[in-house]
Amino acid sequence: MKLGIVYHMPFWRAADGTLRELEGSFARYVDSLAPYFDEISLCVPRIDRPSGEGTAIRSSNVTLAPLSSFEGPVQFYPKLPIVLPKLLAWVRGIDVLHCRVPTPAASFAFAFARLLGKPAFILIVGDLRALLPTMPYRGVKRMLWRGYTEFEERGMQWMADHSLAFANGGALTEKHSRPNHPVTQTTTTTISAADIATRTDTCGSRPVRILTVSRIDPRKGLRVLPAAIEALTARGISATIDIVGPSIGRPGDEEKAAILAEAKARRVESRVDLVGAVPLDELLPLYRKYDVFVLPTLPGEGIPRVLLESMTAGMPVIATRVSGIPSLITHEVNGLLLDETDADTIAQAIARVVSDRPLRQRLIANAYETARARTLEAQAAKMMSVVAERLGIALPVRSVRLQADHS
């Protein structure tokens, strides 16, 4: 049984022969599905000059069916006349199609699968319509982005209506479900049982070390973080914050510059560090060096996988009450939820975690339980059980050899 997955996350072939992905979350997701198929073929962009080490695909039965590199729809659609024949030939050669959406090539691959009678299932991980107000475009660019958003949103709903569909978190599940065609809720994750830490408390020294892991772009709400550090200082709490993640395209570079300028204007530049991208295999242990995790993200996501990663590391988690996040975090049980993302609200939540030891320890203990129920292995088993039943295909779990030097 050959599974084909289409997505926009770029891969490359490293000198040691391994397939690598820059961020790592998608690579781990692919590895979690590998035991259920004889082969997984990835129809993804290929890059020749990666900007980092990336995360290796560990399973030996994953192959690459590369598309030309593209950063987004502006680069993708002019290549469509070349891409479509490749997509059609690729879909002919697979047994089951899996689309992780939104992504530009998905609707076309899905249409070919329907034409050829191939079974398909999708995983919805984002909400482009909810992101629209935060996009930094004006005039004609904003009109074009709005048109692209509507095209992608209608394509996702069409796919959800005509296939087995999963969605990351409660908000996306509710949005795309229909009375006669419900969507199955899941949680995208990168953690395994072996990643779960054992520490029971944090904030034992000063300065308090705060961590944010996120792509740097206007949709993530990161520009408020220097002001939050300033507000904590005014409360008498010595704190630093590291922001880990790549800047995405020109909007990301502009947002990075704005964050640095804000830190300088508030005289906290020595306490705010933009670390850049860190490979996932290095990032997961890194979480354990911090005291508090903060994610002031704006609407448009499912459930950010970094929330489970920080829970796994034994950190109190503070995040906004948007999108699918409340379906993972219960306020004051396994994290704190913010109704506003201004600096004072964020600083108040951090100060509460720092000063209230029983609360902090309760959040950590309950977050461990949340993480244990949502490991890669557990989530993949649940998804593939539904896929096998609903699509009527046999998917036995088989042993997949891992690359020896990346085990």
Of the pLDDT bands very low, low, confident and very high (cuts 50, 70, 90), residue 400 is: low
Higher local confidence (pLDDT), 347 or 298: 347
Q: Does 135 score more than 80 pLDDT? A: no
3 state SS of 2: strand
Nearest CA among 54, 58, 30 for reference residue 42: 30
Nearest CA among 142, 144, 93, 82 for reference residue 118: 93
Q: Does 406 score more than 70 pLDDT? A: no
Of the pLDDT bands very low, low, confident and very high (cuts 50, 70, 90), residue 399 is: low
pLDDT (tens digit per residue) in 1-34:
999 999 999 999 999 999 999 888 999 999 999 9
Question: What share of residues in the chain are helix, strand, coil (percent, to 5)?
Answer: 45, 20, 35
Range with lowest mean pLDDT among 46-50, 237-241, 289-293, 298-302:
298-302
Tokens of 209: 């070390």
Using CA atoms, how far apart are residues 374 and 87, in angstroms rounded to an integer? 33
Using CA atoms, how far apart are residues 185 and 171, in angstroms rounded to an integer? 9
Q: What is the mean pLDDT of residues 182-191?
A: 93
Q: With beta carbons less than 8 A apart as the criterion, state whether 336 and 316 touch.
A: yes
How many CB atoms neighbour CB 248 within 10 A? Answer: 18
Q: What is the mean pLDDT of residues 86-98?
A: 98
pLDDT (tens digit per residue) in 68-81:
988 788 889 999 99
Q: Does 95 score more than 50 pLDDT? A: yes
Range with lowest mean pLDDT among 45-49, 105-109, 310-314:
45-49
* pLDDT confidence of residue 264: 97
* pLDDT confidence of residue 407: 31
Nearest CA among 400, 391, 335 for reference residue 363: 335
pLDDT (tens digit per residue) in 233-248:
999 999 999 999 988 7
Q: With beta carbons less than 8 A apart as the criterion, state whether 1 and 94 touch.
A: no
Percent of the chain at pLDDT exceeding 90: 77
Q: In what order do the strands lie in the sheet with 317-320?
A: 272-276, 239-244, 208-213, 292-295, 317-320, 336-338
> What distance lies between CA 404 and its chain's CA centroid?
27
Q: What is the Cβ-side half-sphere exposure of residue 281, based on CA atoms within 13 angstroms?
A: 14
Q: What is the DSSP string of 29-77?
A: HHHHHGGGSSEEEEE-BB-SS-SS--EE--BTTEEE-PBPP-SSHHHHG
* pLDDT confidence of residue 130: 85
pLDDT (tens digit per residue) in 340-395:
999 999 999 999 999 999 999 999 999 999 999 999 999 999 999 999 999 999 98
Q: Is 378 exposed, middle or buried (0-12, 13-18, 19+ CB in 10 A)?
A: middle
Domains and CATH numbers, the chain: 2-189+375-406 (3.40.50.2000), 193-372 (3.40.50.2000)
Of the pLDDT bands very low, low, confident and very high (cuts 50, 70, 90), residue 54 is: confident
Cα dist from 172 to 72, 118, 136, 148, 259, whole Å: 22, 25, 23, 19, 30
* pLDDT confidence of residue 141: 83
Of the pLDDT bands very low, low, confident and very high (cuts 50, 70, 90), residue 405 is: very low
pLDDT (tens digit per residue) in 247-285:
877 888 999 999 999 999 999 999 999 999 888 889 999
Pairing of strands 292-295, 272-276: unpaired
Of the pLDDT bands very low, low, confident and very high (cuts 50, 70, 90), residue 137 is: confident
* pLDDT confidence of residue 74: 85
Q: Does 318 score more than 60 pLDDT? A: yes
Q: Which amino acid is at 41?
A: S
* pLDDT confidence of residue 198: 95
* pLDDT confidence of residue 223: 95
Q: With beta carbons less than 8 A apart as the criterion, state whether 343 and 233 touch.
A: no
On average, the pLDDT of the chain sits at: 93
3 state SS of 141: helix
